[in-house]
Amino acid sequence: MHELGITQNIIAIVAEHAQGSKVQRVLLEIGKLSAIMPDAIRFCFDICSQGTVLEGAKLEILETPGLGKCRECGATIPLEQPFGKCQCGSTQIDLIAGEELKIKEIEIEEICV
């Protein structure tokens, strides 16, 4: 399960950016063509965040659809897998979306002094 290593990296990156502040929420963007299973990330997140500034943080995941652009006619087409066939008949498709893994937002607790 490569999601465990991915989640450990996400936790490390977010903790570094939080600079010791308690993290309340993390928003990830995961492309449907990325070969990353959002449910596995959710499962690993709770385990990996224990004992860190992310413990108890809410994890939100946006799944972005796969999109390709036809090299022949320039059409943008939805993709359910990392390859496809355009309506013009071409299989020369460049992936333009759906492979991403991004930390979109981090919400940290404000400390009032």
| Span 58-69, pLDDT tens digits | 999 999 999 999
Q: Give a yes or no: residue 31 inside a domain.
A: yes
Q: Is 112 annotated as a binding residue?
A: no
pTM of the model: 0.84
Domain hosting residue 34, numbered range: 2-65+97-108
Q: Is 44 annotated as a binding residue?
A: no
**CA 107, CA 14: separation in Å to the nearest integer?**
10
Q: Is 86 annotated as a binding residue?
A: yes
Q: Please tell me the total count of domains within the chain.
A: 1
Sheet bearing 66-70, strands edge to edge: 76-79, 66-70, 93-97
| Residue 5 in this model has a pLDDT that exceeds 70 | yes
**CA 39, CA 48: separation in Å to the nearest integer?**
14
Q: Give a yes or no: residue 8 inside a domain.
A: yes
pLDDT number for residue 110: 74
Q: Give a yes or no: residue 77 inside a domain.
A: no
Domain CATH code at residue 52 = 3.30.2320.50
Q: Is 48 annotated as a binding residue?
A: no
Q: Give a yes or no: residue 81 inside a domain.
A: no
pLDDT number for residue 21: 94
